Each structure stands twice: as structure tokens, then as C-alpha cells.
Amino acid sequence: MIATVTLNVAIDKAYVIERLRDRTVMRVKTCSNTPGGKGLNVAKVAKLMGEEVLACGFAGGYNGKSVMHMLHGCGVPNRFVETKNETRCCINILSEEDLGSTEFLEPGAPVDEAELAQFTEEFREIIKIADVVTISGSVPKGVPEDYYSVLISLCHEHKVPVCLDTSGKLLEAGIRALPDLIKPNTDEIEDLLHVSAKNEAEIIAGAMRLHEMGIPYVVVSLGKEGALLVCREGVWKGIPPEIKTVNTVGCGDSMLAAFAVGLKKKLPPADMMREAVAVSAANALSMATGHFEKEDYAAILPGVRVEQIRIQ
């Protein structure tokens, strides 16, 4: 089972409009609500890949109950700690004219010490039945910056592989606990290591430094150009076929879900990379966040090129 941690859950609202204009009234052509937060996208995609999943985190108020109801509809079981404060909403505005995406992300409502302690105890029970854990996204107020390192250490105690996908101080503190997989972008590599990561050689050098710190798998997404993976076996690059992108929101979460599935199945690096790039590209063909159509995935997978560009 793959357990996904999302401490800053949201209702994701996607508004499709003809063109985004400033300081005027715009009519929304279509609107969809989905359970949001990076970890919930991971859970939804892993479920679509045929895996048993369990979503956990915080959820509160009417919005929190709505998130749980929507997850139930997706076939994703959950064990949330219910909070006194209301779960947030996030809005993604998709422009048909230029295929642009503009996001408005609300901050998470604060959690108190009792709610945080309750989640820690709940997590201790969840990792007893998990094969892989993913920890994703931001945290609400009330959660300390080093809290992810606490969860990672608990996973290590139970010998459960753990993947971390976050940013800023949360990532900086989290990598000290040496998660099994991280997925930084180029900006995060530069911030963490105080180096340049402007081209492929610099990105690989930065990812290798993170790997040499004791992190078994370092994944760097390159957007439409694919992704890089640094691990014990070497450096791998996955390149997707050319597609007509519809919505890039959730592509990174889809990639993380595929790597979590690969860790659970103990797949070799090339196979993990191929599936992760294919799932991420398939997500880009869907208007829904953290979703892909199986026929899109099946069509894309044979066209993914995976190259070993360095042997350790």
C-alpha cells in the first residue's frame, strides 16, 4: 500500500475561460472541483496505476468533509485528522486562447498542537501497514519547519521507503533526514547547494551532490523535455514524445506517484523512469488535476526514450 501525506489539503477549483483579462468581469465556461493538495494528486494517480493507496493529513470544516467525499468517489480511502479550522480552496484559471494557467493558492488554516500530535500518532499506525510513503507540498501554520524530518525518521525506523516532494525550508530540513527519494526542481537545487543549475551538466552535478549526501534517488523534472534520475546505478534521462499539452498542473505529482509505485515494485531505474515520464505526460493531456486516461498512458509509453547518460 502507498500512503500519501498531504498536510495542506485543498479543494482545487479549475476555471476554464476564453482569455484572461485584467480588471474586468469574465464568464467561466466550465468549472470543476477536485480534491487537491500535492499528496492527494499522488494518491489519485497511484490508484489509477492499480495500487492500493491511503491518503492522510489534515481536513477541516465543510470543505474538509467535501474533500473526503470526493476522495471516496475516486476510490481513495483516507485517514485524515479533522481540524477545527476550514480546509482551504485553490483556484486554477485555464485560458483557452493561449493554453496558459494562472493559480491562486490560499494559505492553509492553522493547526494546533493537539491536532499535530494526533496526526503524529495516526502516522505511526499508518506506516505499520505501508509499503511506501510519500510526503508532499506545503504545511499549514502550526506545523514546524522540521516536521517532515520527523515523519521521515519514523519511516526509517519501520524500514519503509519514503519520498519527499516539497520546497524551501521544509525541503532543506527534510533532506537532513535522508529520504529515499526527492524531486527538486532546478531552482531548489540552486537554493539548496548555492550552485548554478542552468544546463543539463550543472543539473546533473547538483543532483549527484544530493545523491552523495545519502539520498538514494534524486529526480529532477525538466518539464516537456522529460526528467533526470540520479541513483546508485547511474544517471538516467527520460524523454517523452511530443504531445499537445492541455494542463500541466499535477504533472510533477503524477511523476512522483509513478516513482512511488516503482519503489514498491522494486523496478530497475530505467523502467521507473519510463513509467514516470509516461504518466506525467498523460496527466498533461487531462483537464483534471492529478489524473490521466489509461489509453493516453498506453499510447505515450512506447514513445518514451530512456537513456543512461552516465554509469556510476
What is the model's pLDDT at position 299? 93
pLDDT reading at 98 higher than 80: no
- With bands split at pLDDT 50, 70 and 90, how would you rate the model's confidence at 312? low
What is the model's pLDDT at position 250? 86
Name which of 45, 33, 166, 138 is nearest 91 in CA terms.
Answer: 33
CB 217 within 8 A of CB 282: no
Torsion, Cα of 201, 207, 212, 217 (10° steps):
-130
Domains of the chain by start residue, with CATH: 2-20+28-311 (3.40.1190.20)
Q: What is the mean pLDDT of residues 192-218?
A: 95
- With bands split at pLDDT 50, 70 and 90, how would you rate the model's confidence at 68? very high
The three cell numbers of residue 250 are 499535477
pLDDT reading at 102 higher than 60: yes
226 or 170, higher pLDDT: 170
Indicate the SS3 state at residue 64.
Answer: helix
What is the model's pLDDT at position 311? 60
Percent of the chain whose pLDDT exceeds 90: 77
- With bands split at pLDDT 50, 70 and 90, how would you rate the model's confidence at 22? confident
What is the model's pLDDT at position 246? 81
Q: What is the pLDDT of residues 104-136, one digit of tens each?
A: 988 888 999 999 999 999 999 999 999 999 999
What is the model's pLDDT at position 224? 84
**How does the average pLDDT of the chain come out, rounded?**
93
- With bands split at pLDDT 50, 70 and 90, how would you rate the model's confidence at 52? very high
Q: What is the pLDDT of residues 261-281, one digit of tens each?
A: 999 999 999 999 999 999 999
What is the distance between the alpha carbons of residues 63 and 140, in angstroms, rounded to a whole number?
15
Q: What is the mean pLDDT of residues 26-48?
A: 92
What is the model's pLDDT at position 8? 95
What is the distance between the alpha carbons of residues 207 and 292, in angstroms, rounded to a whole number?
28
Q: Compute CA distances 155 → 134, 158, 201, whole Å.
A: 10, 5, 33
What is the distance between the alpha carbons of residues 168 and 171, in angstroms, rounded to a whole number?
5
pTM > 0.85: yes or no: yes
Indicate the SS3 state at residue 236.
Answer: strand
- With bands split at pLDDT 50, 70 and 90, how would you rate the model's confidence at 153? very high
Q: Residue 63: CB partners within 8 Å, gap ≥ 6?
A: 10, 11, 86, 87, 88, 89
- With bands split at pLDDT 50, 70 and 90, how would you rate the model's confidence at 97? confident
Q: What is the mean pLDDT of residues 10-22?
A: 88
Beta bridge partners of 15: 31, 93
pLDDT reading at 176 higher than 90: yes
**Rg of the chain, C-alpha, whole Å:** 19
- With bands split at pLDDT 50, 70 and 90, how would you rate the model's confidence at 48? very high
